[in-house]
């Protein structure tokens, strides 16, 4: 089945070209973090919830939204708790390199 | 601690000025600070034949662990200064960067620039080697007077008759009444072991580093913010290969098991030295953290128990992101860290400092020779302030990603990292440092706007892309023998720089029409000469026809120059001495070239000011696939 969710880099203003591919993504990320500036955790959670609802309605297509919800939950489910691994159990870095194609 | 490097000691010499204390010691240019930026400024000016005095309060190169990564543009500038090859030979070229989050690698990237550039994307080399090569070059230049253990104790601006100098504090200081105070410039009081003397300079270049004693003494503001974080640098000597197959890579960890909740960066340097950079947090005690009994266990935790290493250097640093409001104050020009400071993520410190001097030297030469107005130096400040803002923006963003300052910021950062393994869009958002790239000076008043469509990002203000070419090797130096010339592989960039150059694209010399030949004729003999480089698409060696007198003929045997510049027969580019595009046309018109040359040298006519589109990033006129790679990290 062809996925409906766009997971390739997609930030930018239509018609504009960027000298560095990372610039529009960095523009968005900075604006996102800025939108939380000065808020406490509860306020930030409220901003995030409102943002998700606004964007979800804008997307509208339930196929896209279902795929996004699934992808978001999958990653969070396998995510480890904050690690407190000590030095003695650390893996030597040469063993941690797993090739993954970008 | 072990040292893999023996610091050279350069000899102090008693200055002749001490023998004539009552004489005014006048110099056209004095440069303060023999770090990479001051050395580059002095070398560049001396290569133009300008007599330069370079003052430094020390007698050796940079001690300890400082600048490390030198980007492609820096290597190209160093090539022009005669130091590119030793840096590349001694340095470590790397292309692969890996990013880890907690236990696992989330992705890796390859900086490998598109093929067919002379210089690689990035070379790692300890700063002391770079300085040593620059010092060796500086000492070989006859008009460069490099003075070790000459400490500047006071600078007094001489602002008379200089509107731009009126803002300078100190313009009314006692020094202004000294002999020579009527002409603009600066008095520089210098202390040596044998006593003090004073130089009067027409122009002063200040490259005395982030703390810039001269900037402070003049009371000039530098605005920005301090990041509340501390980082530990440990340089270790290690014979073992860290990376698969002995490759050279850059590894970056977010929140690794061996250093929880913080970031760690690993770089390879020359001489089997490895740079490890641990984020410590603001509360860390810098004195405690520097102790070997604290540092060694951290490194053992990272490398595993079986790897032998020796500490070469340890320091704890903080950093600021800030810049001066303007880099020109009257006849005093600030460059490098003295003018602007960024976080180390992205290697935008020394790399931007060398672009400062690249921009400064040719302009100052023209002003000194009376070929351009004093106001041309305003464009140094304008162009490099715009570049500094781009560097500040990118390095601040990297810092905010690497060291999130709030719970929600950390949550988003970690969300990006957990998505990055699977989803391409998230990999693009991972920001562990955006590699230093040269500034595209697209908003500069020195540019002539395009009058035609071009399918290339080499727009006015852009740094020129390199390309492989074939070049002529004369059969005999005096040019009288009957033997045919031979042809050899070379690079386009090596035929540009140091002077204004006109790149003219053609099938062959034979294909040039009469009007073009007539337009070329006056260029080389103008007040400000323009050297013509003819780029031929015809791949015969030699191409048909006679090369016009005084022109350089290059063969674009792979078509790379034509692709990168959208060079069709007749296309012409006017390049500044710092290898940035000043103007481009679809056909050669002598009047248009003269006009663009006047504008690029600050002699703009009426109705020509700034007002071109902004500097960052958007280029609606350039509709082609990017001609340059867009490497994402440093």
CATH number of the domain to which B383 belongs: 3.50.50.60
Q: Which residues in chain A are closer than 8 Å to B268, comparing Cβ atoms?
A: none
Q: Same domain for B256 and B384?
A: no
Q: Alpha-carbon distance B288 to B466, whole Å?
A: 48
Q: Is residue B360 assigned to a domain? A: yes
Q: Same domain for B472 and B492?
A: yes
pLDDT recorded at residue B621: 38
Q: Is residue B118 assigned to a domain? A: no
What lies within 8 Å, CB to CB, of B267 at 6+ separation is: B68, B69, B124, B250, B274, B275, B277
DSSP B342: -
Q: Which residues in chain A are closer than 8 Å to B107, comparing Cβ atoms?
A: 100, 102
In 3D, which of B524, B499, B491, B462 has the Cα closest to residue B576?
A: B499
CATH number of the domain to which B292 belongs: 3.30.70
In 3D, which of B402, B390, B399 has the Cα closest to residue B442?
A: B390
Whole-Å CA distances, B601 to A45, B144, B446, B597:
55, 25, 7, 6
pLDDT recorded at residue B50: 98
Residue-wise pLDDT tens digits, B348-404: 999 999 999 999 999 999 999 999 999 999 999 999 999 999 999 999 999 999 999
Q: Alpha-carbon distance B295 to B124, whole Å?
A: 23
Q: Alpha-carbon distance B611 to B602, whole Å?
A: 15
Q: Same domain for B62 and B161?
A: yes
CATH number of the domain to which B521 belongs: 3.40.30.10
Which residue in chain B is spatially nearest to A20 when comparing CA positions? B630
Inter-residue contact B341 to B319 (CB < 8 Å): yes
Q: Alpha-carbon distance B116 to B329, whole Å?
A: 41
Q: Same domain for B38 and B175?
A: yes
pLDDT recorded at residue B343: 87
Residue-wise pLDDT tens digits, B292-330: 999 999 999 999 888 899 999 999 999 889 999 999 999
Q: Same domain for B170 and B60?
A: yes
Query: Is B455 within 8 Å of chain A by CB?
Result: no
Inter-residue contact B560 to B533 (CB < 8 Å): no
Inter-residue contact B273 to B126 (CB < 8 Å): yes
Q: Is residue B4 assigned to a domain? A: no
Question: Nearest CA to CA, how far is A73 from chain B (Å)?
Answer: 11
Q: Same domain for B237 and B279?
A: yes
Q: Same domain for B240 and B215?
A: no
Inter-chain residue contact A7 with B423, CB threshold 8 Å: yes
pLDDT at B166 over 80: no
pLDDT recorded at residue B122: 92
Inter-chain residue contact B306 with A23, CB threshold 8 Å: no
Residue-wise pLDDT tens digits, B11-38: 999 999 999 988 889 999 999 999 999 9
Q: Same domain for B377 and B296?
A: no
Minimum-distance CB partner of A25 among B244, B421, B428: B428
Q: What is the maximum alpha-carbon separation in chain A? A: 53
Residue-wise pLDDT tens digits, B111-156: 776 788 999 989 999 999 999 999 999 999 999 999 999 999 999 9
Inter-chain residue contact B107 with A93, CB threshold 8 Å: no
Q: Alpha-carbon distance B148 to A77, whole Å?
A: 62
B383's tokens: 């162009």
DSSP secondary structure of A8-61 = S---S-TT---SSTTHHHHHHHHHHHHTTTT--HHHHHHHHHHHHHHHHHHH--
Inter-chain residue contact A102 with B424, CB threshold 8 Å: yes
B59's tokens: 């007698």
pLDDT recorded at residue B426: 95
Minimum-distance CB partner of A21 among B416, B423, B630: B630
Question: What is the distance between the terminal CA atoms of chain B, rounded to a whole angstrom?
Answer: 28
pLDDT at B632 over 70: no
DSSP B463: B
pLDDT band at B173 (very low <50, low <70, confident <90, very high): very low
Residue-wise pLDDT tens digits, B521-571: 899 999 999 999 999 998 877 888 889 989 999 999 999 999 999 999 999
Question: Nearest CA to CA, how far is B416 from chain A (Å)?
Answer: 10
Q: What is the mean pLDDT of residues B610-630?
A: 37
Q: Is residue B628 assigned to a domain? A: no
pLDDT band at B346 (very low <50, low <70, confident <90, very high): confident
Minimum-distance CB partner of B301 among A8, A48, A87: A87
Q: Same domain for B577 and B476?
A: yes
Inter-chain residue contact B401 with A10, CB threshold 8 Å: no
Q: Tell me how crowded residue B240 is: count the other CB atoms within 10 A of its CB.
A: 12
Q: Same domain for B74 and B162?
A: yes
Domain boundary among B301, B318, B335: B318
Domain boundary among B271, B300, B318: B318
B613's tokens: 């589109």
Interface of B with A in 84-143 (CB under 8 A): 98, 100, 102-109
Q: Same domain for B213 and B81?
A: yes
Inter-chain residue contact A92 with B303, CB threshold 8 Å: yes
In 3D, which of B574, B465, B438, B500 has the Cα closest to residue B118?
A: B465
Alpha helices in B543-589 (DSSP H): 560-565
Q: What is the mean pLDDT of residues B91-97?
A: 92
Phi, psi torsion values for B438, nearest 5 degrees: -65, 150
Residue-wise pLDDT tens digits, B429-478: 999 999 888 999 999 999 999 999 999 999 999 999 999 999 988 766 55
Phi, psi torsion values for A55, nearest 5 degrees: -70, -40
pLDDT recorded at residue B137: 98
Q: Alpha-carbon distance B223 to B210, whole Å?
A: 12
B305's tokens: 């128990």
Question: Nearest CA to CA, how far is B108 from chain A (Å)?
Answer: 6
The pLDDT > 70 percentage for chain B reads: 90
- Domain residue limits at B38: 25-88+127-223+324-391
Q: Is residue B569 assigned to a domain? A: yes
Domain boundaries, chain A: 9-38, 40-79
Q: What is the CA radius of gyration of chain B?
A: 26
Inter-residue contact B317 to B305 (CB < 8 Å): no
Q: Same domain for B491 and B577?
A: yes
Quote the number of domains for chain B: 3
Residue-wise pLDDT tens digits, B198-236: 999 999 999 999 999 999 999 998 988 888 899 999 999
pLDDT at A84 over 80: no
pLDDT at B627 over 80: no
Q: Is residue B541 assigned to a domain? A: yes
Q: Alpha-carbon distance B207 to B198, whole Å?
A: 19
Mean predicted lDDT score pLDDT of chain B? 89
Q: What is the 3-state secondary structure (H, E, C) of B283-308?
A: CCCHHHHCCHHHHHHHHHHHHCCCCC
pLDDT at B581 over 90: yes
Inter-residue contact B74 to B354 (CB < 8 Å): yes
Query: Is B261 within 8 Å of chain A by CB?
Result: yes
């Amino acid at each position: 089945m062809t996925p409906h969710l766009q997971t390739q880099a997609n930030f930018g203003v239509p018609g504009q070209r960027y000298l560095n591919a990372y610039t529009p993504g960095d523009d968005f990320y900075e604006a996102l973090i800025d939108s939380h500036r000065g808020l406490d955790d509860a306020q930030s959670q409220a901003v995030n919830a409102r943002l998700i609802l606004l964007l979800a309605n804008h997307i509208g297509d339930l196929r896209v939204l279902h795929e996004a919800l699934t992808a978001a939950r999958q990653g969070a489910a396998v995510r480890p708790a904050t690690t407190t691994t000590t030095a003695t159990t650390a893996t030597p870095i040469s063993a941690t390199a797993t090739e993954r194609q970008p | 601690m072990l040292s893999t490097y023996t610091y050279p000691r350069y000899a102090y010499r008693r200055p002749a000025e001490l023998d004539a204390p009552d004489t005014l010691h006048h110099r056209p240019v004095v440069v303060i600070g023999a770090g990479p930026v001051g050395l580059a400024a002095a070398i560049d000016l001396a290569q133009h034949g300008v007599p330069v005095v370079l003052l430094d309060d020390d007698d050796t190169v940079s001690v300890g662990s400082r600048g490390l990564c030198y980007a492609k543009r820096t290597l190209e500038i160093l090539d022009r200064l005669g130091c590119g090859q030793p840096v590349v030979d001694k340095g470590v070229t790397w292309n692969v960067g890996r990013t880890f989050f907690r236990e696992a690698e989330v992705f890796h990237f390859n900086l490998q620039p598109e093929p067919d550039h002379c210089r690689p994307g990035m070379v790692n080399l300890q700063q002391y080697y770079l300085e040593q090569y620059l010092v060796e070059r500086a000492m070989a230049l006859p008009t460069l007077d490099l003075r070790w253990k000459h400490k500047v104790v006071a600078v007094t601006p001489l602002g008379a008759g200089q509107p731009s100098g009126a803002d300078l504090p100190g313009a009314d200081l006692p020094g202004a009444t000294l002999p020579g105070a009527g002409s603009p410039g600066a008095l520089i009081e210098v202390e040596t072991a044998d006593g003090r003397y004073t130089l009067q300079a027409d122009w002063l270049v200040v490259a005395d580093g982030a703390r810039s004693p001269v900037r402070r003494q003049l009371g000039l503001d530098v605005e920005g913010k301090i990041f509340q974080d501390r980082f530990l640098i440990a340089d270790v000597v290690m014979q073992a290969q860290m990376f698969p197959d002995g490759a050279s890579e850059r590894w970056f960890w977010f929140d690794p098991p061996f250093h929880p909740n913080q970031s760690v960066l690993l770089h390879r340097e020359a001489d089997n030295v490895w740079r490890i950079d641990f984020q410590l947090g603001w509360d860390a005690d810098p004195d405690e953290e520097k102790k070997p009994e604290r540092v060694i266990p951290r490194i053992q935790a990272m490398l595993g128990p079986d790897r032998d290493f020796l500490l070469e250097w340890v320091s704890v640093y903080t950093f600021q992101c800030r810049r001066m409001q303007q880099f020109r104050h009257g006849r005093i020009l600030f460059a490098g860290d003295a003018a602007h400071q960024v976080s180390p993520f992205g290697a935008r410190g020394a790399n931007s400092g060398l672009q400062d001097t690249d921009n400064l030297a040719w302009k100052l030469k023209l002003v000194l020779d009376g070929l351009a107005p004093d106001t041309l130096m305003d464009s140094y400040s304008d162009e490099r302030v715009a570049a500094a803002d781009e560097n500040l923006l990118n390095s601040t963003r990297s810092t905010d990603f690497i060291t999130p300052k709030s719970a929600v910021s950390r949550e988003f950062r970690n969300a990006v990292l957990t998505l990055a393994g699977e989803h391409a869009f998230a990999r693009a958002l991972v920001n562990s440092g955006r590699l230093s790239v040269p500034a595209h000076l697209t908003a500069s008043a020195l540019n002539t706007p395009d009058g035609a469509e071009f399918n290339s990002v080499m727009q006015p203000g852009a740094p020129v892309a390199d390309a492989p070419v074939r070049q002529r090797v004369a059969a005999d130096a005096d040019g009288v023998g009957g033997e045919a010339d031979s042809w050899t592989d070379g690079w386009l960039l090596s035929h540009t720089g140091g002077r204004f150059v006109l790149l003219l694209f053609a099938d062959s010399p034979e294909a040039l029409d009469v009007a073009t030949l007539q337009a070329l004729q006056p260029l080389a003999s103008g007040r400000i000469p323009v050297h013509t480089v003819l780029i031929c698409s015809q791949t015969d060696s030699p191409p048909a026809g006679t090369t016009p007198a005084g022109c350089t003929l290059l063969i674009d045997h792979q078509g790379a120059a034509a692709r990168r510049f959208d060079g069709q027969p007749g296309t012409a580019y006017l390049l500044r001495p710092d290898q940035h595009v000043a103007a481009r046309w679809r056909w050669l018109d002598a009047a248009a070239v003269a006009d663009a040359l006047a504008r690029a040298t600050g002699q703009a006519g009426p109705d020509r000011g700034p007002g071109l589109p902004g500097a960052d990033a958007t280029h609606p006129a350039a509709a082609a696939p990017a001609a340059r790679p867009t490497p994402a990290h440093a």
